[in-house]
Chains A and B, each alone.
Chain A
Amino acid sequence: MDVLFDILGSANFWAAAIRIATPLIFGVLGALICERAGVLNLGIEGIFVAGAMAGWLAVYLGAGLWGGVLIAALAGALFGLLHAFLTVILGLSQHVSGIGITLLATSVSYFTYRTALPDVSSPPRIAAFQPVSIPGLSDLPFFGPALFQQTPLTFLALVFVLLVALVLYRTPLGLAIRAVGDNPASVEAQGLSVVGLRVGAVVAGSALMALGGAFLTMSAFDAFFFGMVNGRGWICIALVVFASWQPGKALLGALLFGAFDAFQIRLQAQIGQVVPGQVFLMMPYLLSIVALIVVARRADYPRALLQPWTKGQRH
């Protein structure tokens, strides 16, 4: 019990939880936008890799940090465009296309890395984003170091939570995106373009996913490693269901996962001699499965998720 309170009582633990949650927030928001429009994007894992590689490489080759972020988003948007072309315009299976995108984006990223840097043995480093202090807030006892000493990308992720919620619930565009994921015929009958909305949502969602990857190489670490995404994209796919496709709950889910992960790292340090380390590594995933079982049985899926739309066909 003492161990538990020691961990939960440290500001350092909460700061780590938010840091770990950041790429998940980007990823789950991106997946949420795609799925709200009716398109499952299993390319997410590969798009994370592409974002991580493209952003890092741009900075390594001389771009500014924010320039790198932009390049990462563009890389994600490009793979999103491919996914949208295959699933929305050609109406192919979203599962198959998504997995294809993941394999393609991953290998293209590795290939580009190797081609650009053929001779390096240990991964070169860049000057990554540093934590920023917010005057006043960062100096608060406990809460300052726990919540307000993060890198700019973490704050950007939080801004995006607000922005996505605002667009989704407060603008006609959000109305149209939610409608097209529920019943494309409703959008078509009101004179809007089903294809336009879905392609737009997939491209924008994919750009956000890539920012999740960029955070890894430009903020959490300062180099690009193979295998560094390590299933974070897949976690986001589960988190969207956990969040019932709502941005607020998506943030909560990502933070919860981040907290579990930060917790297991610390627990491992404390009682790692007794229990094998792999058990701790398993913990967040086990807990996310449990959370899914509890929450997702009542999940209110977008009704048109996975269904291609062909104009003029009988439905």
Chain B
Amino acid sequence: MTNTPVLLSLHNITKRFGALTANDGISLDLHRGEILALLGENGAGKTTLMNILFGHYVQDEGDVRVLGDGGLTTLPPGSPGAALKAGIGMVHQHFTLAENLSGLANIRLGTEPLLSFGREGAARAKVQKIIAESGLDVDLDRRVADLTVGEKQRIEILKALYRDAKVLILDEPTAVLTPQEADGLFVVLRRLAANGLGVIFISHKLGEVLAVSHRILVLRGGKKAGELVTANADRRAIADLMVGKAVATVVRTPASPGEVLFALENVSLHGASGRSLSGVSLALRAGEVVGLAGVSGNGQSGIAALISGLAVPTSGTMRLYGETVSRADPRALVANGVARMPEDRQHDGVVGTMSVADNIAIEEVRSAAFSKMGFLDRKAMRERATAAIAGYDVRCQGPEAEARLLSGGNVQKLILARVLERGPRVILANQPTRGLDVGAQAEVHRRILAARDRGAAVLVISEDLDELFALADRFVVVHAGELHDAGPSEGLDRGTIGLMMAGQSHLRTEMAS
């Protein structure tokens, strides 16, 4: 691959945000027809580097050179327009689509003189030709708001190809895709590379990087930690390169379940689809992790709402420590030792515009720990936050930093600190490591298992079966609002769980007989 011409060359890029050096003297070359993976944990500087390349940020040092008519030429910094013109296309992690417009309109946007008529036909023909060549099949006339996430991503890629991109940058493209959609994307990317496109693929997922790339560049702490050819790469070695130390594997010791702390008895819940439950029974015991598997939207959010105190059963009984809970009262549940890690942690887990200290104290502002005679005890809040930042390795500017400025992994650590420091007896962990990198993932898992060993009853809801197998002592599977007991995790395999997730729970009993 390295014998094809260089399309793009980054030279010695350095970018500082205040005291933080996000990129420290990074250089890379991208060749024609090559898929280069940019691998690193959250906060390693991958996205910053690509934002410099595309002109969203201005670098403090270094330059970007792109192959033009007269060889490699330096791009003016800070100009997305110039980057586009030079043939750089970028698919952002958060899509940059106008949802009220059709896919075709989004693709055409900015490519035609502002006051002109009748260019839609030519545009459509060109896009359809690209679709035929690349396999990026999508309905061009639907409003983007009505497209699936995978289809929106295709529109984003088409946007770049429509402008004759030579280099395509994809920032964490699989974070939002189902495994099937991701496989489809890889097929498209290989095809595009074979046609001569240079692709930069940003990711923190080792598996997919090994599957799709030709070459891997590992970033750590804003610096280049290593560069290797994928064909000769060793999984373990790359993981260590990413994290900078050997990744500790979390080992789950056998559980010793105690009494039932939380129970649903024949509970039904009427609500929006995806939230409804019918005749569900569930028991969470002290010292045990129950893993809840299921295709998203089959009732997980209903169970989460019940344990969080956001809903009460329409019929049936919900018990906490044996006593019936009949009123939706989140504050009472929290005061009684229920800890909640919400699914959408940025949205439901923290108040973005409030400080880390405020967010740490937010569930307990009325307790004596954080208030004095009805007034907030800011000193106590700050102290607890400082301790949490140190103890849980929350990376931020300090207790007064706004929560919205934290990365996803650090928000989750903040929430862990908030709920676990209270010594909760019942823990709901809803998608606890979605979007987190390897290091943060291991940390969250270790904390959850430690809480179990301390005697807490834990329910983990996750779409990641590997995660459930790492954490759960016992499995339950939700399908179409019904809950099926799959038994102890020892003796279960992914195939069985998969079938139950698809609603074929009877197969298990048949296979057993």
Residues of A in contact with B (beta carbons under 8 Å apart) = 167, 170-173, 175-176, 178-183, 185-192, 300, 302-303, 312, 314-315
CB within 8 Å of A: which residues of B? Answer: 56-57, 80-81, 84-85, 90, 92, 94, 96-101, 105-106, 108-117, 119, 159, 405
Q: Are A176 and B117 in contact (CB under 8 A)?
A: no
Contacts of A175 in B (CB 8 A): 101, 105, 108-109
Chain B residues closer than 8 Å to A180, beta-carbon distance:
98
A179-B114 in contact (CB<8A):
no
Query: What are 21 contact pairs spanning A and B, CB under 8 A?
Result: A170-B117, A172-B110, A172-B113, A175-B101, A175-B105, A175-B109, A176-B114, A178-B98, A179-B109, A182-B100, A182-B101, A183-B96, A185-B92, A185-B96, A187-B109, A189-B90, A189-B96, A190-B96, A191-B84, A191-B85, A302-B100
Bound together, the chains give a CA A183 to CA B80 distance in angstroms of: 16
Decide if B100 touches A189 in the complex (CB within 8 Å).
no
How far does the Cβ of A310 sit from chain B's closest Cβ, in whole Å? 12
Contacts of B108 in A (CB 8 A): 172, 175
Q: Are B100 and A176 in contact (CB under 8 A)?
A: no
Instruction: Chain B residues near A172: list those with CB within 8 A.
Output: 108-116, 119
- In the bound complex, CA of A191 to CA of B105 (Å): 15
Asked if A179 and B101 make an inter-chain contact with CB atoms under 8 angstroms apart, the answer reads yes
User: From residue A168, how far is it (CB to closest CB) to chain B in Å?
Assistant: 12
CB <8 Å contact, A189 and B92:
yes
Residue of A nearest to B92 (CB): A189
In the complex, which of the residues B80, B85, B112 contacts A188, with contact meaning CB atoms closer than 8 Å? B80
Whether the pair A192, B109 counts as a contact (CB closer than 8 A) is yes
Taking each of B84, B92, B96, which has the highest tally of chain A beta carbons within 10 Å of its own beta carbon?
Answer: B96
Give Cα distance in the complex from A303 to B112, angstroms.
24
Question: B101 contacts A312, CB within 8 Å?
Answer: no
In contact, A191 and B99 (Cβ under 8 angstroms): no
Q: Name the A residues within 8 Å of B101 (CB-CB).
A: 175, 178-179, 182
Tell me the complex Cα distance, A186–B98, Å.
Answer: 6
Question: B57–A179 contact, CB under 8 A?
Answer: no
Q: Are A186 and B96 in contact (CB under 8 A)?
A: yes
Beyond the given pairs A176-B110, A192-B110, 19 more chain A to chain B contacts, judged by CB atoms under 8 angstroms and listed by A's residue number, are: A172-B111, A172-B113, A172-B115, A173-B114, A175-B101, A175-B105, A175-B109, A176-B114, A178-B100, A179-B105, A180-B98, A183-B99, A186-B98, A186-B109, A188-B96, A190-B109, A300-B100, A312-B56, A314-B405
* A187/B110 in contact, CB under 8 A: yes
Shortest A178–chain B CB gap in Å is 6
How many angstroms between the C-alpha atoms of A181 and B98 in the bound complex?
8
Interface SS of chain B: loop
Q: In the bound complex, what is the Cα–Cα distance between A77 and B306 (angstroms)? A: 55
Smallest Cβ-Cβ distance to A301: which chain B residue: B100
Closest to A171 in B: B115
Best-surrounded residue of A192, A300, A315 (most CB of chain B within 10 A): A192
The answer to whether A312 and B57 have CB atoms under 8 Å apart is yes
Output the least CB separation between A255 and chain B (Å). 26
Taking a contact as CB atoms under 8 Å apart, the answer to whether A173 and B117 are in contact is no
A300 partner residues in chain B, CB cutoff 8 A: 100
The 5 closest A-B pairs by CB, nearest first: A190-B110, A179-B98, A191-B81, A173-B114, A189-B96
Residues on A with C-beta less than 8 A from B119 are 172
Please give, as numbers and ranges, the residues of chain B lying within 8 Å of A315 by CB-CB distance.
94
Q: How far is the CB of B158 from chain A (nearest CB, A)?
A: 12
Question: Which residues in A have their C-beta under 8 angstroms from that of B114?
Answer: 171-173, 176
**Assuming the A-B contacts A179-B106, A186-B106, A300-B100, are A191 and B80 also in contact, with contact meaning beta carbons closer than 8 angstroms in the complex?**
yes
A-chain residues with CB within 8 Å of residue B116 when the two chains form the complex: 171-172
The CA-CA distance from A302 to B112 in the complex, in Å, is 23
Among B94, B111, B113, B117, which residue has its beta carbon within 8 angstroms of that of A190? B111
Chain B residue numbers with a CB within 8 Å of A314 are 405
Kindly list chain B residues whose C-beta atoms are within 8 Å of the C-beta of A167.
115
Query: How many Å lie between the Cα of A171 and that of B80 in the bound state?
Result: 23
Q: Which residues of A contact B99 (CB under 8 A)?
A: 182-183, 303
Identify the closest chain B residue to A180 (Cβ): B98
Chain A residues contacting B57 (CB-CB under 8 Å) are 312
Q: How far in angstroms is the closest Cβ of chain A from B126?
A: 15
Given contacts A175-B108, A176-B110, A191-B110, is CB(A186)–CB(B100) below 8 Å? no
Residues of B within 8 A of A176 (CB): 109-110, 114
Closest chain A CB from B170 CB (angstroms):
14
In the complex, what residue of chain A is closest to B159 when comparing beta carbons?
Answer: A190
A155 → B minimal CB distance (Å): 23
A127 CA to B110 CA in the complex, in Å? Answer: 46
In the docked arrangement, what's the CA distance between A187 and B101, Å? Answer: 12
Q: From A179, A187, A314, name the one whose CB has the most chain B CB atoms within 10 angstroms.
A: A179
B501 to nearest A CB, angstroms? 34
Q: Which residues of the partner chain A approach B109 to less than 8 Å between Cβ atoms?
A: 172, 175-176, 179, 186-187, 190, 192
Quote the shortest CB–CB distance from B18 to chain A (angstroms). Answer: 14
Nearest-CB residue, chain B, relative to A36: B100
Chain B residue nearest in CB terms to A173: B114
Closest to B98 in A: A179
Q: Which residues of B contact A191 (CB under 8 A)?
A: 80-81, 84-85, 110
Which chain B residue shows the least CB distance to A197?
B114
Closest to B111 in A: A190
Bound form: Cα–Cα A233–B294 in Å: 54
Interface centre among A185, A191, A302 (most CB of B within 10 A): A191
Point out the residues of chain B lying under 8 angstroms from A183, CB to CB.
96-99
In Å, the complex CA distance between A238 and B109 comes to: 30
Task: State the Cβ distance, A198 to closest chain B Cβ, in Å.
Answer: 14
Residue of A nearest to B78 (CB): A312
Distance in angstroms from A189 CB to nearest chain B CB is: 4
- The distance in angstroms between the C-alpha atoms of A188 and B113, with both chains bound, is 16
Closest CB in chain B relative to A57 CB, distance in Å = 33
Among residues of A, the one whose C-beta sits closest to the C-beta of B47 is A314
Residue with the greatest number of chain A CB neighbours at <10 A, chosen from B100, B106, B113: B100
How far, in angstroms, from A190 to B90 measured CA to CA in the complex? 10
Complex interface: chain A residues within 8 A of B97 (CB):
183, 186
Residues of A within 8 A of B105 (CB): 175, 179
A11 to chain B, nearest CB (A): 38
B contact residues around A192 at 8 Å (CB):
109-110
Name the distance in Å between B353's Cβ and chain A's nearest Cβ. Answer: 13
Assembled-state Cα–Cα distance A170/B117 (Å): 7
C-alpha spacing A183/B119, complex, angstroms: 23
Residues on A with beta carbons closer than 8 Å to the beta carbon of B84: 190-191
Q: How far is the CB of A229 from chain B (nearest CB, A)?
A: 32
- Check if B100 sits within 8 Å of A303, measured CB to CB: yes
Minimum CB–CB distance from A298 to chain B (whole Å) comes to: 14
A167, A181, A189 pick with most chain B CB within 10 angstroms: A189
Centre residue among B56, B57, B405 by max chain A CB count within 10 A: B56
CB distance from B404 to the nearest CB of A (A): 8
Complex: A185 Cα to B100 Cα, angstroms = 14
In the complex formed, the residue of A with least CB distance to B84 is: A191
The complex places the Cα of A186 from the Cα of B99 at a distance, in Å, of: 9
